[in-house]
Amino acid sequence: MVRSFAEWKGGTMKRIAGVALILAVLLAPVSCRTRKPPEEGGLEVQPAEFRPATILSRLHFEKGNYPHLFAPSSYALWVDETVTGLRREAAVTAGESIQPDIEAEAARIAQNYLIIECHMDSVFADMSIAYDVVGYRGLSVYLSTPDGRKIPPIQTLISTSAKEEQREALKLFGRTNLVVFPKRDLWLDRPLVTSLVAPVRLVLEGYNSTFYFEWPATPPTGTVAAPTHSEVKEVLKVGFREFHERVRQLAHIFD
């Protein structure tokens, strides 16, 4: 029997639809098995915030042409409750009065921002470069996390004046700079830094050289080590009031 083209086309489409239905039935169990089961109780576990095992890091040279661009005296502080507490205690012991509004602002800033306080020194042979690098001119500064992210700061507060000290034929230039990051990653809705085992770095790149500060993580079951006597001395180079006078503008910039 000779069928019309319309009859042949209609039969073909019915066979295709039947095959598709059979495949859908056969593959459905596989799809169900490979689907990720929901978290128990439907609750998502929030990653814990990174806690450094120490508050202070010396500057490390990683690679490049100028390993002596910065002086070995350069260091950085991860400004957490330990640093703030030491400074507050020293201020009270010295008889300073801490105004409630400054203390409230300090607490709010500590809750919302990660601040790394960098004490940068340079005795580089080219004194104009030494002066520039302690103010981060010509440098890229970012946070390097164990998961490979390079996070730029939302604000870098450069010291308005540089210290100068004669070192034989050269000069030492120094500045105290504050590098500011948000505490939380708003896109991922989690703490910005969540590593519980690997160290976190603040990287400085420029002048064909790479340097970094590094903080090891406190193990989940461990405790933060008490600062040493030398670390306390470095912390107290900046007072409670002086630090918060500089950072309190953050409360207005990002509100």
pLDDT surpassing 50 at residue 119: yes
Average pLDDT, integer, range 45-49: 72
pLDDT surpassing 50 at residue 231: yes
Sketch the domain layout of the chain as residue ranges.
5-35, 56-253
Position of tokens 């500060």?
Answer: 213
Percent of the chain surpassing pLDDT 90: 54
Q: What is the pLDDT of residue 99?
A: 84
Q: What is the pLDDT of residue 23?
A: 38
Across all residues in the chain, what is the average pLDDT?
A: 82
Residue-wise pLDDT tens digits, 62-95: 999 999 999 999 999 999 999 999 999 999 999 9
Residue-wise pLDDT tens digits, 237-252: 999 999 998 887 765 5
27-31, 90-94, 110-114, 207-211: least confident range: 27-31
Average pLDDT, integer, range 19-27: 39
Q: What is the pLDDT of residue 248?
A: 78
Q: Which one is predicted more confidently, 31 or 69?
A: 69
Predicted TM-score (pTM) of this structure: 0.79
Q: What is the pLDDT of residue 239?
A: 94
Residue-wise pLDDT tens digits, 174-188: 999 999 999 988 787
Q: What is the 3-state secondary structure (H, E, C) of the chain?
A: CCCCHHHHHHHHHHHHHHHHHHHHHHHHHHHHHHCCCCCHHHCCCCCCCCCECCCEEECEEEEECCCCCCCCCCEEEEECHHHHHHHHHHHHHCCCCCCHHHHHHHHHHHHHEEEEEEEEEECCCCHHHHHHHCCCCCCEEEEECCCCCEECCCEEECCCCCEEEEECCEEEEEEEEEEEEECEECCCCEECCCCCCCCEEEEEEECCEEEEEEECECCCCCCCCCCCHHHHHHHCCCCHHHHHHHHCCHHHHCC
Q: Which residues of 18-28 are buried (b: 16+ CB within 10 A; e: fewer)?
A: eeeeeeeeeee
Q: What is the pLDDT of residue 66?
A: 97
Q: What is the pLDDT of residue 9?
A: 43
